[in-house]
Structure 1
Amino acid sequence: MIDTESLRDAFGELERHAPDEAAVLTGFRAGVVRRRRRRQLATVTGVAGTVAAVALGVVLAVPGAPGGGTGPATSSAAPAAPDPSVRLELPFTVGVPPAGYRPVEWRIGRDLSDVQYHGSHDGETVVVELSTGPRPPTELLSEEPETIAGRPGKLVRLLPDGAQLELSWQLDDGRWFTVRGPAELLSGLRATAQSLSVRPTPLDPTAGPDFSALPQGYAVAGWLGEGDTLTLATVCPVAKRLFVDCVRVSLRPGTAPGTTQVKSGGDVLDVPVDRTRVVNGVPTWATADGLVVHAQVDPGHWVRVGPAEPVDAADVDLMRAVAAATVSR
C-alpha cells in the first residue's frame, strides 16, 4: 500500500521550495522555440481520464509505445540500445475492480507497481499489486491455501483481528500478484483477483514528460500518481538502486515561480529561487542551498526537480541537467 502520509512528508520536505506563482520567464524563450520545433506539445492534464480508465480495468488503445527516441534511425545507424526507463504503463490489467471503490493512487516501478482504491469510509482500502518477488506480510495472523485463477496461492489474514486480508499467488514468470483489502469484502477481492492479467495497460504517452534526453547513465525508475494527476517521475542511475541517488521530477502547468516558502521555527519565510544557469539552451533556477531546481520547459509548463529523499545537500548540477532534459508533450 502506498503510504500517503510518508509521501506527504517527503513532499513536505520538498515543499520548503513550493513557491508563489511568480513569473520568471526571462531568457527561456529561445531554448523553448528550438525544443518546440522538435515536438508537438500537449497538455499534461490528459492523464486525468486515462488514470481513471486504468484503475477501472479498461485497456486503452494507444498507438505506439511511451518513451522512445528522438527520431527514426537511418539504415547505416547501429541498433539503438534498449531504453532502461520504466514505461508509462501499468504492467497489469484489472478486469473487475472492487465494487464501490474509487481509484486514488497508483505507482509504476521497476520492482513494484500497484493501484490503490478507497471506499466511502475511512480505512476502506483495496490495493492491487504486481511485484517481482514475494512480499511476505509483516502482520500475519493466519494463512491458508487458496486457488486463484487456477494457480496455487494463499489467503492471509492480518493482525490484529483478521479484519484485513491478502490474496497472493505467483505467476509463471516469477512475479507475484497481491490483492489486499477488508475481510468483509472477501468475495469481491476474489473476483478482482480472478480478473487480473499481466497484459499491460498503457497510459496516454502525452500525459507524462519526455525524458529521452536524460544525462547519460540515468533513466526513469518509476512514476507516481495521486487521484487523477500524474504527480511525479523518479529518475535514478541505471547501474544503482539506492534511492538516495535519485531525483524526483514534477511537470506542472503554468509559469515557473521565483520564490519558495521555508519554515523557520514558527515563521514562514519567502526564499528566492534565483540562482540562474542555462543548461543546453534552457534557463534553470535553483535555491541557494541547491535543493530544488525549476525550469520553464515551454510557455505552458515548468518542472520542479528535487532529491528523492530528504537530504542536507544535493547534486544541483544533476538536477539542473534533468530539469533541462524534461520536455512536455
Structure 2
Amino acid sequence: MEKAMTSKCFMILVVFGVLGYAKAQGLELGFYDTSCPKAEKIISDFVKEHIRNAPSLASPLLRMHFHDCFVRGCDASILINSTSANNNTEKAGNPNKTLRGFDFIDRVKAAVEAECPGVVSCADIIALTARDAVGVIGGPFWNVPTGRRDGLISNTSEANTQIPGPTFNFSSLQTSFANKGLNVTDLVLLSGAHTIGVSHCSSFSKRLYNFTGKGDEDPSMDSFYIANLKKLKCTVANDTTTIVEMDPGSFRTFDLGYYKNLLKRRGLFQSDAALTTNSASKNLIVSLVNSPLEKFLQEFSLAMEKMGRIQVKTGSSGEIRKNCAVVNS
C-alpha cells in the first residue's frame, strides 16, 4: 500500500513538473480554451477523417514536426515557401525534399482559420496534427501544451546543417540532439519513430553498393538483409524513386519491430545502426525490446513532449501566420 502511494505521488509530481515546465516557457494545455475553444477538436476531427483514408501520411507529419523543431525550434519555419532563387527556405533543404504533408497542414489551418481567424499558430497546428495522426494509426498519445508562435525566418542552409542525417554516426547524432537540449535517451526514443514510414533507396543505397567508395557493402549491416534489398527493392545503385519500409512487415504499426531489427543489424540508415555502437544507447534498446510495448509508448510520448518544447516562441515573439506558407506582410 505504501509503495503504491509512493508511486502515485511520484507520478503526480512528474505530471505537475511537466506542466510547470511547459507553463514556464509560455506553453500550457488548453491554451486556446478561451480564444478558440473548438480549435483542438477541429484539428482532431479533420485528422481522424482524413488519416483513416491515408494512413501512410502519419509518418511524414510526425517527421515534419521533428524537422521543424530541429531548426529554430518548433516555430513552423519549415512551412515557409521560398520567395526567390536567392531566398530558399527550409522546405528546399535536402532533408525536406522528400517530405510530404504540407498541403495537409494548409487544409487544417484553413479549417481552424474559418472558426477563429488569426488565433491559432501554424506551429501548434504541426504539433497537434502530428500527435493526432499517430493516434489514428494506433500509436501513442502525448500531451501537447500549446501557445507556440510562428517564426519569421527560414533558410535552406540551417535545415541542411541542423537536421540529423541518415549517414550520421553516433557522435554526430549525440551532438545534434544535445544542441537541442536532448540526451541519449531522447535520441533512442525519438529514433523509434522509424517504426512507421518508409525511406527512399537513395538515403541508404551507399550501404548496399559503395560504402567506402570501392564498390563494397557496409559490414555492419546484415548481409542477408542487404542481399534481399538489392534483389527485391533497391536493384540499382542510383535508384531515387523506390521506397522501402523502415520497419518491414509493420511499418504502419507503432511496435518494437524497429528496435528488434537494430539488434539484428537490419536498420536501414547508418544513423539507425549507429544506435547500437554506443553502450548506453544499445542497453536502452535491449531494455525496450525486453519490456512490454507499453514502456516504449509511454517513454516515446514523454520524449515527444520534450521535443515539442525546443526553443519555442511565445508571448510577443514571432507571429500568428494567416497563411502557414507565407510570413505576414
TM-score normalised by L of structure 1: 0.25
Highest RCO, 1 vs 2 (Cα 8 Å, sep ≥ 6): 2
Q: Which one has the bigger strand percentage?
A: 1
TM-score normalised by L of structure 2: 0.25
